[in-house]
Amino acid sequence: MIKISVNLQDRSYPIYINTDYAQIGRCVQSARLTGRIVLITDTNVDKCQSEECIKAFLDEGYEVSKFVIPAGEENKNLETTRDIYKHLLGLKLDRNATLIALGGGVVGDITGFAAATFLRGINFVQIPTTLLAQSDSSVGGKVGVDFEGSKNIIGSFYQPKFVYINVNTLKTLPDRELRAGLAEVVKHGIILDDEFYEYIDYNVHKIFNRDEAVLQYIAKKNCSIKASVVEKDEKEGDLRAILNFGHTIGHAIETVMDFALLHGECVSLGMVGAMRMAQYLEMIDESLVNRVKGTLDKIGLPTKLEGIDVDKVYNQMFYDKKIKGRKLIFILPRKKIGEVIQCTIDDEDLIKRVIASLGE
């Protein structure tokens, strides 16, 4: 089992990377979690992962109750959070209780938000089952829900007690979900590590064959990259903003499309947009745009969106958290893969030109 530490003083925690659930009970013991355990999952994950995961807890002598929420981004809202609260109230939990999120980013975000706010904060553990969650959303403590059409607009920073990654959960993941998760993996390479980017591009076939060694390496590398950023900037005051590469446009597309596209698919489009913006600003040349677009095409991620509504996407961007003084903030590549900078841009014509280019 691989172990990585996220060093945040009294909020520090380990990330465990394994090929099954066998060590989960020992991880609970190491974290000194002694209260009641409630596992939150969704209707999709419940069918293929809950039984095996819960059995691993039972084998170590832990009793676990389960609550299942409807699957899908459209259910990451205050209504579903209310249902979780009602279930927790019915269990008469105390503040030593632990909520465990078994699922993808939606389950992790909403479970973490419930944990952060129930009884003013109870213990929280992430067991991510999608590549998107294993590579990005389960690490760093961002929790929250969508509200009135704005993604993650209500939330908090609330760190888990530990993260447990079983890479073989990806064997039950549909290829479309795996592709979507790879968008965040590619993102990490673009912002900080050219060699890792090349590794992903070279190993696309092995990733889709669910090669265990490759999946473990990707999980380790992703978590190490994200942990290094979060350790320096836990609450996105400065450096952590680079993790939003592709998200300013991507989140807006996701909302305007009413979540018909997966998060990673929207991030893919957003990354192409960010690359094009950097090209228009003469920060990079077209060959670098084509290099990234080629990788995304190889993975099978969208790099264009026919019929994109430029005005709707542009206007939606102003409901995002990543604005400053009514000016939009973009993370853009500079010179090469592995190096990005944060830019505040208020050139409406430029931004709309970029959005329009995604429909061409």
- The domain tally of the chain equals 2
Range list of H helices, the chain: 24-30, 43-48, 50-59, 78-91, 105-117, 131-132, 175-192, 194-202, 204-208, 212-232, 247-256, 263-280, 286-299, 310-316, 348-357
Catalytic site residue 92? no
CB-based contact 116:132 (threshold 8 Å): no
Same domain assignment for residues 192 and 147: no
- Which member of 251, 254, 265, 293 is catalytic? 251
Final residue before a domain boundary, out of 117, 151, 173 = 173
pLDDT of residue 233: 82
Residue with more model confidence, 150 or 175: 175
For residue range 45-90, list pLDDT tens digits in order.
999 999 999 999 999 999 999 999 999 999 999 999 999 999 999 9
Domain containing 15 equals: 2-173
At residue 236, what are phi and psi to the nearest 5 degrees?
60, 45
Catalytic site residue 251? yes
Report the alpha-carbon distance of residue 43 to residue 98 in Å, rounded. Answer: 21
Same domain assignment for residues 23 and 135: yes
At residue 280, what are phi and psi to the nearest 5 degrees?
-65, -30
- How many Cα atoms are found within 13 Å in the side-chain-facing hemisphere of 290? 3
Final residue before a domain boundary, out of 173, 191, 216 = 173
Same domain assignment for residues 139 and 203: no
Contacts of 297 (CB under 8 A, 6+ apart): 303
- Which member of 161, 221, 263, 276 is catalytic? 263
Same domain assignment for residues 195 and 328: yes
Same domain assignment for residues 318 and 296: yes
Same domain assignment for residues 166 and 185: no
Q: Cα–Cα distances in Å, from 4 out to 87, 170, 205, 247?
A: 33, 20, 27, 26
pLDDT of residue 140: 87
- Which member of 247, 254, 265, 276 is catalytic? 247
Place of tokens 């264009």: 304
For the beta sheet containing 323-324, the strands, ordered from the edge strand earlier in sequence to the opposite edge, are 323-324, 327-334, 336-345
pLDDT of residue 261: 94
Q: Which of 75-79, 133-137, 347-351 has the lowest mean pLDDT?
A: 133-137
Q: What is the CATH number of the domain that holds 62?
A: 3.40.50.1970
Paired tokens of 14: 């380990």
Catalytic site residue 240? yes
Same domain assignment for residues 287 and 246: yes
Same domain assignment for residues 169 and 182: no
Final residue before a domain boundary, out of 173, 188, 208 = 173
Q: Is 0.75 surpassed by the pTM of this model?
A: yes
Same domain assignment for residues 43 and 25: yes
Same domain assignment for residues 111 and 161: yes
Q: What is the CATH number of the domain that holds 342?
A: 1.20.1090.10
- How many Cα atoms are found within 13 Å in the side-chain-facing hemisphere of 111? 33
